[in-house]
Structure 1
Amino acid sequence: MTIETTTSARVEGVDALRGLAAIAVFICHIGGYWGFLDLPGKLPQLVAAGAHGVDVFIVISGFCLALPLAGHRRPLRVPQFYGRRAWRILPPYYVALAIAAVLALLPATWHLTVARQATLGDVLLHVVTGQAWVPGEVGTINGSLWSVALEVQLYLLFPLLVLAWRRWGITPVLIGAVALDLAWRGSGALGGPAPLGSDLVVPARLDQFVAGMACAVAIRAGFTWSVRRGLVVFAVASLAALGTSTLDLGVFTGVAWAAAGSSAVLLLAGPLGRALGGTVLDRFGARSFSFYLLHQPVLLVGAPVVALLPGGMPVQLVVGGLAAFGVTVLLAELLYRGVELPSHHAGRRRFPVTVERPVAPARVDDRDDRRDDLPEPTPV
């Protein structure tokens, strides 16, 4: 099976945006998992909005996968694409799953990380990335891993999306994905059986992924924003999306965050992206997948220790939060260097050509093929 497609250079600053999204999710989970903090006022709602970092991850994922395909048509080798994606995402996922599974299975530790002791059936469901489709399964091992399962399913659908894009254009595909999201969430709101209406599965998130693809098409077509115009649109879209934390937008929540994530990605196609490229935040973002995979167990296992810190909520939040962040960064670096990066390189060696090279190829940065995903927390 082949699909007509193309290649292109990467957009600077994408990793920095990933890093910000990962930090937002981390902060959200501090508020959700450290209930002893008793955050005052509207702070709990503001912190909870960080969960939508996963929406941004999904937009970035669609953008990065589609960017090499936008422009001149060339064949995409679908088996090679699937092989490389599997090597890119599954080895670090399975390592993180093994760590979380041990914690959730052992009698001495399960109470720290899950609501009930996990079973081998729970582990098997996570191995096949089907946990989000079974009611009550998302939090049985590591609640954050549902978004990795979602990424796997989006990767499987990606070649079909590219076929539709080539046949009808990206706009009809995006409209169809938005309609699917609204219908799916609306059906759930009417009281349909689970998982109908769940925002953890493909029907509720496909529009965000396709929105990222549309950003790639727009940038390759020469669409750029001035910094001033981009900041205004980004601010409006983000404020509308953040309103979902206090104002229930119902079935439009996913669409609002697709708009916010897309505006952020488009904003990178200019001076802002070049300024962020190569920064500390950009380097952290390159490790954001490993960070995301490990952050929840660190927060949950460390919670009893943080709760003992004297000084109350301010000290526990700042000191405990920074300590947990530092530990997660350290463990993520080990996972990144020991598993994620080697498996990524192994995938490129085993599946060297996913898109056939043109006669005079444009430079393609290897980092375009990074794991562009990830991630959101289990609802808390």
Structure 2
Amino acid sequence: MRSPNIRYLPAVDHLRAYAALLIVLYHGLHLFAYFARFHQPFGIDHWLQPGNVVAAALTEGHTAVALFMVLSGFILTHGSLDTDLDARGFLRNRLLRTYPLFLLLVFAGIAAAPGNFQWSSFLQTVFGFANLPGALVAPPFSSMLWTIAVEWQFYVLFPLLLMILKRGWAKNLAGLVAVLILFRWMAVVAGGNARDLAYTTIFGRLDQFLIGMAAAECFRRYPLSRRAGAWLAALSLASMVGALAAFNVAGGWPVVSTWKILWPTFEGLIWAAFVIGYIDLANDARGLWSRLLARIGEISYSIYLIHFIVITTMITFALPVVFSGHVVVDALLNTLFFALPATLLVSALTYRFIEWPFLRLRGRYRRDRPGAPVTPRTGPGE
């Protein structure tokens, strides 16, 4: 995603692609496997717990949301470290980036389930609180909208958070994260659901944005060689696979336990290390594989919002196909052979005809300081 506000980093688009592909595999695995076992719409009552470490990690592929959150904090901060921010221009660009496709899905959901429409839920959703109780419920069109609401809430906070962190990254980051964890614990003591507040709210996810912001400062201040970046990326990825496998053994996403108030922070730290290492490793990569990943990353927002609709539509038409008789293997093969190609096709269309016309309207929000390096113009405005 090119911008005059942020120097283009091809590896960031790679990372967006990885996160988008992971979320498709995650939902395809669960939805196809559940339907194959029970011939009913998906529920969390029979959570998959494969014995294989990689399969167990894919079963907890909701971690792709955490990677997206860390990336948001990273890339927005990366473009704002040596400049002052025009908050109005910044928020305008973010709405142009995210709102058109969001609204399309809102109205598609209303058209599909008009009986669910209420003015209060509609207004709550379109004004940025789709992640809270009372929002519009019109699956599959509304199923992924909650994460965009969390992103919007971060966008509103971002200019203020940037000013605070610039005055002392390590101290202020540690303090903010400590306060968030403490208040999550107190919310759980008061009767809150540790899983839900950590997973679906800005209260739980803000750690990951903040850690992504700090990662941008570390990336600038402590550059790594390609070899060091490769080691950091490999070690952090292996750590995440192992942690997700352990998470799955502990019961996985459905389990409600107090320790989950710490999980967003832990996820954010590992993904931030992976982001820094991977960008130092792969940002100068050339070749077809790099261009292909960058293209997938470019349409990753559409992939994220569209894939759930594609998978549920396929299930309506009697997929999955039985390949091996092994539920996990068959679910992944149906995802790779059918759901992923269809998602990429539909996402390319929504990107070109829904996202792109509005992306071209974005403008600059940087107020470059005298003597500060000017970000080269590399494409349409952020």
TM-score normalised according to structure 1 size: 0.80
Deviations 1:184-208 (A, max 9, x none): 4323433524698342111111111
CA 269–228 in structure 1, closer or farther in 2 if over 3 Å, else same: closer
CA contact (8 A) 1:22 1:53 kept: yes
The answer for the alignment partner of 1:186 in structure 2 is 185
The answer for the alignment partner of 1:215 in structure 2 is 215
Deviations 1:50-81 (A, max 9, x none): 111010000000011000222x4x32211111
Deviations 1:237-258 (A, max 9, x none): 4245423232375222111110
Q: 1:65 aligns with which of 66, 76, 85?
A: 76
The answer for the alignment partner of 2:26 in structure 1 is 28
CA 181–143 in structure 1, closer or farther in 2 if over 3 Å, else same: farther
Mapped to 1, the partners of 2:86 and 2:331 lie a distance apart of: 51
- Paired amino acid for 1:229: W
The answer for the alignment partner of 2:354 in structure 1 is 339
CA 320–173 in structure 1, closer or farther in 2 if over 3 Å, else same: same
SS at match of 1:275: coil
| 1:226-265 to 2 correspondences below 5 Å | 226-235=228-237, 237-239=239-241, 241-242=243-244, 243-247=246-250, 249-265=259-275
SS at match of 2:91: helix
Runs of 4+ in 1 over 4 A off after TM superposition: 117-120, 135-141, 193-196, 310-317, 357-360
The answer for the alignment partner of 1:132 in structure 2 is 131
The answer for the alignment partner of 1:113 in structure 2 is none
**TM superposition shift of 1:95:** 1.5
Deviations 1:238-289 (A, max 9, x none): 2454232323752221111101210111013323232278431121011000
Mapped to 1, the partners of 2:243 and 2:286 lie a distance apart of: 23
- Paired amino acid for 1:264: F
| 1:215-364 to 2 correspondences below 5 Å | 215-224=215-224, 226-235=228-237, 237-239=239-241, 241-242=243-244, 243-247=246-250, 249-275=259-285, 278-307=290-319, 309=321, 311=323, 312=325, 313=327, 314-315=329-330, 317-319=332-334, 321-348=336-363, 352-356=364-368, 361-363=374-376
**TM superposition shift of 1:361:** 1.9
| 1:90-239 to 2 correspondences below 5 Å | 90-105=99-114, 117=116, 119-134=118-133, 142-167=142-167, 169-193=168-192, 197-224=197-224, 226-235=228-237, 237-239=239-241
**TM superposition shift of 1:235:** 3.6
CA 181–276 in structure 1, closer or farther in 2 if over 3 Å, else same: farther
For structure 2, list consecutive stretches of 5 or more residues without a partner in the other structure.
38-47, 252-258
CA 260–320 in structure 1, closer or farther in 2 if over 3 Å, else same: closer
- Paired amino acid for 1:324: A
Cα RMSD for the two superposed structures = 3.0
CA 282–8 in structure 1, closer or farther in 2 if over 3 Å, else same: closer
CA contact (8 A) 2:28 2:339 kept: no
Deviations 1:23-65 (A, max 9, x none): 1111111233331234673477433311110100000000110
CA contact (8 A) 1:306 1:320 kept: no
Deviations 1:276-335 (A, max 9, x none): 784311210110001111111111122132446455545564246521212211111111
Matched positions, count = 347
**TM superposition shift of 1:220:** 1.7
SS at match of 2:367: coil
The answer for the alignment partner of 2:41 in structure 1 is none
Mapped to 2, the partners of 1:101 and 1:321 lie a distance apart of: 30
Identity of aligned residues (%): 23
**TM superposition shift of 1:10:** 3.5
**TM superposition shift of 1:8:** 6.2
- Paired amino acid for 2:299: R
TM-score normalised according to structure 2 size: 0.80
- Paired amino acid for 1:345: R
CA contact (8 A) 2:24 2:307 kept: yes
- Paired amino acid for 1:131: A
Q: 2:14 aligns with which of 13, 16, 21?
A: 16
SS at match of 1:355: strand
Comparing 232-241 and 199-208, the one that deviates more:
232-241
CA 308–85 in structure 1, closer or farther in 2 if over 3 Å, else same: closer
CA 172–308 in structure 1, closer or farther in 2 if over 3 Å, else same: closer
Q: 2:87 aligns with which of 56, 70, 78?
A: 78
